[in-house]
A and B are shown apart, each in its own frame.
Chain A
Amino acid sequence: NAGVTQTPKFQVLKTGQSMTLQCAQDMNHEYMSWYRQDPGMGLRLIHYSVGAGITDQGEVPNGYNVSRSTTEDFPLRLLSAAPSQTSVYFCASSYSIWAAEKLFFGSGTQLSVL
């Protein structure tokens, strides 16, 4: 198993550009989520999904869109990038949303918006 795979690892955007951060998992996990981590800070939840076709907002959803058309993939879209979205983005997944399930994280995407 590859686990949780995020692409790209690094990305530089200009203000106003759009892009999609990719996240895929090969563990047949129902639950997937996106976090952002700003320098010196903890992780903040952006969006999450409890299964294909189901998504919901986390703590900081503004400026981001998600969809979950398959169990394996959970892309994060930035429609019009802003410097405030400069951050490291982590995708995570777990088998279910049962409280005892553990999260598996990807290695992150470092995004800079100029």
Chain B
Amino acid sequence: DAKTTQPNSMESNEEEPVHLPCNHSTISGTDYIHWYRQLPSQGPEYVIHGLTSNVNNRMASLAIAEDRKSSTLILHRATLRDAAVYYCILSGSGNTGKLIFGQGTTLQVKP
């Protein structure tokens, strides 16, 4: 199964942009890159996903490297409410139905 590698933790200052990296060097051509986040004491929530092109939505942007071996979740202006664990996962024909969440990146946002 294709795996992802994320830093264990990152810090950011409030109202500054945050770039959360994810490496997925064994990604296959049909794997989608998904990002979820988990706020304290809550279930994970969907953030964004993409296949090849960069994606934007109201929560964040997803920048995908040209070779697709890495991606970056971008929070344009971090707020205290963005403090959470962010998970980068791959979803494709190789793991249909078996979405594997790693330990993710714990983001701290300082006021």
Query: Do A and B assemble together?
Result: yes
Are B43 and A107 neighbours in the complex by a CB distance under 8 Å? yes
Residues of B within 8 A of A103 (CB): 36, 44, 46, 99
Chain A interfacial residues counted at CB < 8 A: 27
- Known: A31-B97, A90-B43, A90-B44; 11 extra A-B contacts, CB below 8 A, are A43-B44, A59-B98, A92-B44, A99-B32, A99-B96, A103-B36, A104-B46, A105-B43, A105-B45, A106-B43, A107-B43
The B contact surface, by secondary structure, is: loop
Contact count A vs B, C-beta below 8 Å? 60
Among B44, B46, B92, B101, contact of A99 (Cβ-Cβ < 8 Å)? B92
Are A100 and B43 neighbours in the complex by a CB distance under 8 Å? no
Q: Does B49 belong to the interface (CB within 8 Å)?
A: yes
B99 to chain A, nearest CB (A): 7
Are B30 and A97 neighbours in the complex by a CB distance under 8 Å? no
B38 to chain A, nearest CB (A): 8
**Chain A residues packing against B (C-beta within 8 Å):** 4, 31, 33, 35, 41-45, 48, 50, 56, 58-59, 90, 92, 97, 99-108
List residues 11-32 of chain B with CB under 8 A from any CB of chain A. Answer: 30-32
Q: Does B71 belong to the interface (CB within 8 Å)?
A: no
Are A42 and B97 neighbours in the complex by a CB distance under 8 Å? no
Bound CA–CA A107/B40 (angstroms): 11
A73 to chain B, nearest CB (A): 18
Q: Does B100 belong to the interface (CB within 8 Å)?
A: yes
Q: Which residue of B lies closest to A102 (CB)?
A: B46
